[in-house]
């Protein structure tokens, strides 16, 4: 039978046991069980998968995808869903926060069906409506889903378990479903084997212990004094284990307190491991133990393979942003995200761990090359050293930090937009948009400098600052557009088909001498004076602001002004 301790208060409050698994078994009903323990290792969002490597250990055998009943599928939830499907990881869906339904009467730690039976009719109606909406969203993602008590075909439909992490309602049902799935579909996979399978989750500095690593031991065993091989930023780390530590029963690794010391630890569980020279250890990589018959050099090469593959995939000679992440897996996830067609952000340098002064100096290379928009560090789930932040402010390097990939992307996108606006403003006088203007003979308000006439935009885009000439009269220039009014309101831009009152101011004495009626009239089209330099500026800074018809006009005007 499945029995175990009640849920701890911290779990009921929804706190994630980031580093350390526990046994949590109190099902809704008693059922025969061949799986004696469930090692729980929950992570927020997609971080559990970003910490994995395709060639690393299978850290997650079965997953729980948590969806907020009040908000439905969010971008991060969809990313987690895609990662689960990509890795073919079996999972169930916990539809959390049922206690937030209006009028919900909580029955702490009860099975969800019992809790629903105690609710008023309007509460059940709202529950069904919200469930239907979210199930439709999941269907749109290509998922067949059903509430677990209505799921007649678990192999084809993903089970949904309504829960409340705050009151514990539905948690017994969730544990029952997990146990049932593991013992029916995964018993062989979960059988203990002696071959070591261990993954580094996090690198921490602990007072009195020095730098430690938190690991998940999936298979095999670890002993105090074993020589381990760990991936490090400067190369493989070979060091003996000084201490094997676990927290007190029903305590989380993040809760400060005394640790339990062990001479030997068997899978599956989480361990805090103390050893020398772990300062540069890389989270998200494998850990090996050197046995008497093992080739040390081969183990060192194998443990470094994953990191070398990722570092080799970045072109350090090109232009791009610098990327920093907390683990190898999160770095890989961020790089993959930046390479997607929808994002497409170039990367010139990568690193793992906190942002230091040397990272800022690396990013400053882009500014020195004249590519200001890439003088940026995208720091994913890592702290920024105080000296590094001060140097960044001094050199003009922007450091964006976030613990969710999408927030990082939003920050960088907003920054790129700001940089583009600055560059466009600086190049505004040099950028000449193509336009052809036709004078309305009944709307000539001033015939000499400043010339004020009513015009119709026959083609292109007229903008304030555009130099205007008269090609049909030898191409002499009249000056630049100083202002425009449309429907008695000042405007900066006028497009094809618009009729505006336009003031053209001369910029030199020759232009000031030009008179309407003597040197030109309404039969002559007014045209923007483009040059090779202005065309290049349009291509670099304003390409997206011009339509295909506008670019065709540029090609025609090139012939008019004999531009190669």
The count of other CB atoms within 10 Å of the CB of residue 31 is: 12
Does residue 347 sit in helix, strand or coil? strand
Q: What's the alpha-carbon Rg for the chain, to the nearest Å?
A: 33
The count of other CB atoms within 10 Å of the CB of residue 103 is: 10
Please state the three-class secondary structure of 373-439 as a single string: HHCEEEEECCCECHHHHHHHHHHCCEEEEECCHHHHHHHHHHHHHHHHHHHHHHCCCCCCCCEEEEE
pLDDT of residue 432: 87
d(Cα 438, Cα 458) in Å, to the nearest integer? 6
Would you state the structure tokens that stand for residue 9, as one six-digit string?
């208060």
What mean pLDDT value characterizes the chain?
A: 81
User: Is residue 407 annotated as part of the catalytic site, yes or no?
Assistant: no
- Of 268, 90, 66, the residue nearest 181 (C-alpha): 90
Tell me how long the chain is: 564
pLDDT of residue 1: 29
pLDDT of residue 254: 54
> How many Å from the N-terminal Cα to the C-terminal Cα in the chain?
85
pLDDT of residue 62: 80
d(Cα 93, Cα 161) in Å, to the nearest integer? 6
pLDDT of residue 40: 52
pLDDT of residue 8: 33
Burial 79-94 (b: 16+ CB within 10 A, else e): bbbebbeeeebbbbbb
If residue 6 lies in a helix (H) or strand (E), which one and from where to where? none
Would you state the structure tokens that stand for residue 280, as one six-digit string?
């540069």
CA dihedral 347, 349, 352, 358 (to 10 degrees): -140
Q: C-alpha angle 435/440/441, rounded to 5°?
A: 140
- Give tens-digit pLDDT for 340-363: 777 778 888 888 888 989 899 988
d(Cα 145, Cα 487) in Å, to the nearest integer? 57
Q: Which of 46, 276, 519, 522 is catalytic?
A: 46
pLDDT of residue 15: 28
Domains in the chain: ranges and CATH: 9-185 (3.40.50.300), 197-307 (2.40.30.10), 317-415 (3.40.50.10050), 435-560 (2.40.30.10)
- Give tens-digit pLDDT for 244-290: 988 877 665 555 567 888 899 887 788 899 999 888 888 878 899 99
Q: What is the pTM of this model?
A: 0.58
Residues in the chain predicted with pLDDT less than 50, given as ranges, are 1-32, 34-37, 41-58
């Amino acid at each position: 039978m499945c029995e175990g301790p009640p849920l701890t208060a911290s779990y009921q409050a929804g706190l994630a046991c980031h580093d350390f698994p526990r046994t949590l078994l109190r099902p809704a009903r008693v059922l025969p069980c061949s799986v004696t323990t469930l090692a729980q290792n929950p992570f927020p969002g997609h971080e559990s998968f970003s910490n994995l490597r395709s060639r690393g250990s299978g850290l997650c055998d079965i997953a729980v995808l948590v969806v907020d009943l009040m908000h439905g599928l969010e971008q991060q939830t969809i990313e987690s869903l895609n990662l689960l499907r990509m890795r073919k990881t079996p999972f169930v869906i916990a539809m959390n926060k049922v206690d937030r339904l209006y009028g919900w009467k909580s029955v702490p730690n009860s099975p969800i069906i019992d809790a629903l039976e105690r609710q008023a009719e309007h509460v059940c109606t709202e529950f069904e409506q919200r469930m239907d909406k979210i199930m439709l969203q999941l269907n749109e993602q290509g998922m067949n889903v059903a509430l677990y008590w209505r799921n007649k075909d678990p192999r084809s439909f993903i089970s949904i378990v309504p829960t409340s992490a705050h009151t514990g309602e539905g948690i017994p049902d969730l544990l029952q479903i997990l146990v049932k799935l593991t013992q029916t579909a995964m018993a062989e996979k979960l059988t203990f084997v002696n071959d070591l399978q261990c993954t580094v989750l996090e690198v921490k500095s602990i007072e009195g212990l020095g730098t430690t690593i938190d690991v998940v031991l999936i298979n095999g065993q670890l002993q105090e004094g074993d020589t381990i091989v760990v991936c490090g930023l400067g190369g493989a780390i070979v060091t003996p284990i000084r201490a094997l530590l676990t927290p007190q029963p029903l305590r989380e690794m993040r809760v400060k307190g005394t640790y339990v010391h062990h001479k030997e630890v068997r899978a599956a569980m989480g361990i805090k491991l103390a050893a020398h020279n772990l300062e540069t250890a890389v989270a998200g990589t494998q850990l090996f133990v050197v046995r008497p018959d093992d080739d040390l050099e081969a183990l060192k090469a194998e443990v470094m393979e994953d990191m070398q593959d990722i570092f080799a995939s970045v072109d350090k000679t090109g232009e791009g942003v610098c990327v920093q992440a907390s683990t190898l897996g999160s770095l890989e996830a961020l790089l993959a995200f930046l390479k997607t067609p929808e994002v497409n952000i170039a990367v010139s340098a990568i690193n793992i761990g906190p942002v230091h002064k040397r990272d800022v100096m690396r990013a400053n290379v882009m500014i020195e090359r004249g590519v200001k928009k890439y003088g940026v560090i995208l720091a994913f789930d890592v702290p920024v050293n105080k000296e590094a932040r001060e140097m960044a402010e001094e050199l003009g390097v922007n450091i964006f930090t976030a613990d969710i990939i999408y927030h990082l992307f939003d920050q960088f996108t907003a920054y790129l937009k700001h940089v583009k606006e600055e560059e466009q403003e600086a190049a505004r006088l040099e950028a000449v948009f193509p336009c052809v203007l036709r004078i309305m003979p009944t709307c000539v308000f001033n015939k000499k400098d400043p010339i004020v006439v009513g015009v119709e935009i026959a083609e292109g885009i007229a903008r304030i600052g555009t130099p205007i000439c008269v090609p049909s009269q030898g191409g002499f220039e009249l000056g630049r557009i100083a202002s425009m009014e449309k429907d008695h309101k000042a405007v900066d831009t006028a497009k094809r088909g618009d009729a505006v009152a336009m003031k053209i101011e001369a910029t030199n004495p020759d232009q000031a001498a030009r008179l309407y009626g003597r040197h030109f009239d309404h039969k002559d089209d007014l045209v923007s004076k483009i040059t090779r330099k202005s065309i290049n500026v349009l291509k670099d800074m304003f390409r997206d602001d011009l339509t295909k018809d506008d670019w065709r006009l540029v090609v025609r005007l090139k012939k008019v002004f004999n531009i190669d």
